[in-house]
Amino acid sequence: MAGHSKWANIKHKKGRADAARGKLFSKLAKDITVAAREGGGDADMNITLRTCIQKAREANMPADNIDRAVKKGTGELGGAALEETLYEGYAQGGVGLLVHVLTDNRNRSASEVRSTFTRNGGNLAESGAVSHMFQRKGQILVDGGDVEEDRLMNIVLEAGAEDMKREGDQFEIITDPVDFSTVCEALEQQGVRPDTASVTMLPDVPLKIDDREQAAGLIRFVEELEDLDDVQNVYGAFDIDDDVLEALSEQDA
């Protein structure tokens, strides 16, 4: 699973830029609504909701917006029902992509996702064609300067984590989705605050990308998908070479 903490961190940093474009609050609100719908509106009893609310607060989302999103999920406020869909497809070069959508208009989201794939030289695939390349896992990223490695290892393994490794300046913790909440709560109790924590889709064998032009095009494609209002997350079966990633980051700085 090497490299996925880097990609997750890129998306985390990108999220802060999205706020300036007015899109992040909508995506965060949808996450909160779904978390409240599936696990209840009490954040003390619903770790997924608590994590979503924490992300929203870090993005300076107004408290009223958060409250409304929770109440939509619990049914206290009306609103269009959100449907969850997973689109599967390929970018140029055969790179597998999963596109997670939450929408109140399935036809609109399908049209937007399809046109984005076409515009970027990709193509959609049938259900199951790409998703079998991924596993659903909990992924937690912790700043390497915030906690000593042995202490962190003891905390997460005792709580049921599957693996922990250092990726650059971060620790990447992988869990079974069933154990994700337990590991998050263990970190919280020990005063360790993750940079990001989510249940995500991780590829079994990511395609190594060491060509700068291909990497740049792939990142642009993923960003276009993520900028669609109905798209919550994009998961890619690729791992961009460290040197290429660093060069692209400096180019965009």
Q: Which tens digit of pLDDT belongs to each residue from 130-170?
A: 999 999 999 999 998 889 999 999 999 999 999 999 988 89
Residue given tokens 């929203």 in the structure block: 56
Q: 134, 200, 205: which is closest to 173 by C-alpha?
A: 200
**Which DSSP helix (H) or strand (E) runs through 74?**
helix 63-74
The residues facing 100 across adjacent strands are 86, 233
Whole-angstrom Cα distance, residue 116 to residue 231? 12
Give residues with Cβ within 8 angstroms of 80, minimum separation 6: 104
C-alpha R_g of the chain:
18
Q: Is the pLDDT of residue 180 over 60?
A: yes
Assign domain 4-74 one CATH number from 1.10.10.200, 1.20.120.1150, 1.10.260.40, 3.50.50.60. Answer: 1.10.10.200
Average pLDDT, the chain: 88
* For residues 101-126, average pLDDT: 95
Out of 39-48, 85-94, 208-217, the most confident range is 85-94
Q: Is the pLDDT of residue 2 over 50?
A: no
Whole-angstrom Cα distance, residue 241 to residue 13? 18
Give residues with Cβ within 8 angstroms of 19, minimum separation 6: 25, 59, 60
pLDDT at 47: 84
Question: Among 105-114, 176-185, 199-208, 243-252, where is mean pLDDT lowest?
Answer: 243-252
Q: 10, 103, 21, 18: which is closest to 58 by C-alpha?
A: 18
Q: Is the pLDDT of residue 3 over 50?
A: no
Side chain identity at residue 56, one-letter code:
A
Whole-angstrom Cα distance, residue 78 to residue 72? 6
Pairing type for strands 207-209 and 231-236 reads unpaired
- Cβ–Cβ under 8 Å, residues 159 and 182: yes
